[in-house]
A = this chain, B = another copy of it.
Amino acid sequence: MSSPRGQIAHLGYAELRTPDLDGTVWFFENILGMTTTYRDDLTAHVRTFDDYEQTSIVIRNATTSGIGRLGLRCTSDEALDARVADLVAAGREGRWEDGLAGTGRTFVTSDPDGHEIALYFDTTWYQAPEELRPGLKNQPQAKPNRGVGVRRFDHINFLASDVEAAANFHTELLGARVTEQIQMDDGRIAARWMTYTNKSYDVVYTEDWTGSNGRLHHLAFATENREDILRAADLCLDNGVPIETGPHKHAIQQTFFLYVFEPGGNRIELCNPLTRLVLAPDWKVVTWTEAERAKGQAWGLKTIESFHTYGTPPLESAKDFTYTPGILL
């Protein structure tokens, strides 16, 4: 098998399901400050101001919340074909399709937990319309004057019944590197953070406590700085968007975070890594023990219970969870 390291360039786009398309689009536009580039009765395409491809997230009207496809952009057409050859050789099923949302020929497969994964290289670089032209030519579009103005679709955190199997799909077949993980006292990997880039993570798997498959823990968007996350918390408070937890600093990966629920019910993270990158080619995986995880976040915040009991779509077995935002009037 050819060495895949470096053949996946970065996260492309994700499909998000929502039972409240209008509400979800309102959230992406007015809280995250993203731009809608396409809209019909069932679908909206939205983008951050600094993603160079046309589309960051494809929002789909659906009967429930949850995640659809994750698009991964390869470094070249040859890299795409090499990845597909390896996937086929490893017995993963898949099919060639026309791409979504401005992307070209695409190989659609799934991880062992059932999340749809799509590989492509051809893509459409965003061309801003006149009214969204940026002031500087090295930026795809003007910075929005609405909402937070997130810079980038940053990472995805999938729930999976078997974290290790799902994560191996990325490391063994697609060339991802593990940077950090949680290992329980019985040896089980409860969560694993992986990267395709110099970011410290792009794709995460977290154990699904319900044992079900194909669910989402959260989608995350990178802000320019921490102040934008503090501002986001104020905007959420004043606009009735439920805050789950944060702003605070994760011990794992040291990300400054805010978790909120968009109107469709999906958990969304606003994240800021400051300027932290993983540059070492031989990075040593950081393993957190069950005891260390139990200590909570960097500055002492205990991890909120719903973080371990809520995913989308919500399941019967998880339905006893009722989120009550802990905010004042």
Binding site for B on A (CB under 8 A): 5-6, 9-10, 30-31, 50, 52, 73-76, 125, 134-139, 142-143, 145-147, 149, 151-152, 180, 197-199, 222-228, 230-231, 233-240, 243-249, 251-254, 256, 258, 272-277, 279-282, 284, 286, 288, 292, 295-302, 325-329
Contacts and interface: CB of A to CB of B under 8 A. Distances in A.
Given A151-B275, A226-B227, A247-B299, A253 B180 contact: no
Given A31-B145, A233-B299, A300-B327, 16 more contacts: A5-B6, A9-B279, A76-B281, A125-B284, A135-B327, A136-B251, A136-B329, A138-B286, A145-B235, A223-B275, A224-B275, A233-B298, A292-B328, A295-B328, A296-B327, A298-B328
Best-surrounded residue of A74, A75, A299 (most CB of chain B within 10 A): A299
A198 B275 CA distance: 12
If over half of A's interface residues share one DSSP class (helix, strand or loop), that class is named, otherwise mixed; here it is loop
B142 A276 contact: no
Contacts of A274: 151, 224-225
B328 A296 contact: yes
Contacts of A299: 233, 236-237, 243, 246-247, 258, 327
Contacts of A277: 152, 197-199
Contacts of A139: 254
A239 B286 contact: no
Contacts of A222: 275
Contacts of A247: 247-248, 299
Contacts of A146: 145-146
A304 to B, nearest CB: 9
Contact of A238 (B135, B237, B249, B252): B135
A70 to B, nearest CB: 15
A77 to B, nearest CB: 10
A291 to B, nearest CB: 9
A207 to B, nearest CB: 20
Given A135-B327, A225-B226, A274-B225, A73 B197 contact: no
Contact of A300 (B31, B286, B326): B326
B275 A298 contact: no
Contact of A301 (B236, B253, B273, B326): B326
B135 A275 contact: no
A288 B134 CA distance: 15
